[in-house]
């Protein structure tokens, strides 16, 4: 506990005592950051699309089981009795 407080204290002093950097960020840096943000969003949406059926079925079974005393066994029995066109 003492060690972590001491480390945070030293980091705070280190950050507060730094001088100005006078650094230059060219337009390519902003473009690269924008590209990273857009790629992350699209990658996250693609991953969500891949796991959407699992997420959807989890919440359906959770809320149906909780609200209507609906069990997964009952849902499976109902699903197996459906015609093929409704299963997919």
Q: What is the pLDDT along the chain (88 residues), one digit of tens a residue?
A: 688 888 889 888 888 887 777 777 788 888 899 999 999 999 999 998 888 888 888 777 776 655 555 555 555 555 555 555 554 5
Q: Where are the domains of the chain?
A: 2-87
Helix 72-81 crosses helix 27-68 at what angle (to 10 degrees)? 90
**Do the beta carbons of residue 71 and residue 65 sit within 8 Å?**
yes
Q: What local confidence, expressed as pLDDT, does residue 64 receive? A: 66
Q: What local confidence, expressed as pLDDT, does residue 44 receive? A: 93
Residues 6+ apart with CB under 8 A from 48: 55
Neighbours of 74 (CB within 10 A): 13
CA-CA distances (angstroms) from residue 45 to 48, 50, 52, 57?
5, 9, 10, 18
């Amino acid at each position: 506990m003492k060690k972590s407080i001491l480390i945070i204290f030293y980091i705070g002093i280190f950050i507060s005592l730094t001088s100005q950097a006078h650094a230059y960020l060219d337009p390519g840096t902003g473009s690269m950051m924008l590209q990273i943000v857009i790629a992350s969003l699209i990658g996250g949406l693609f991953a969500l699309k891949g796991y959407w059926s699992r997420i959807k079925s989890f919440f359906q079974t959770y809320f149906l089981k909780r609200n209507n005393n609906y069990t997964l066994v009952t849902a499976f029995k109902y699903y197996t009795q459906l015609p093929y066109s409704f299963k997919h």
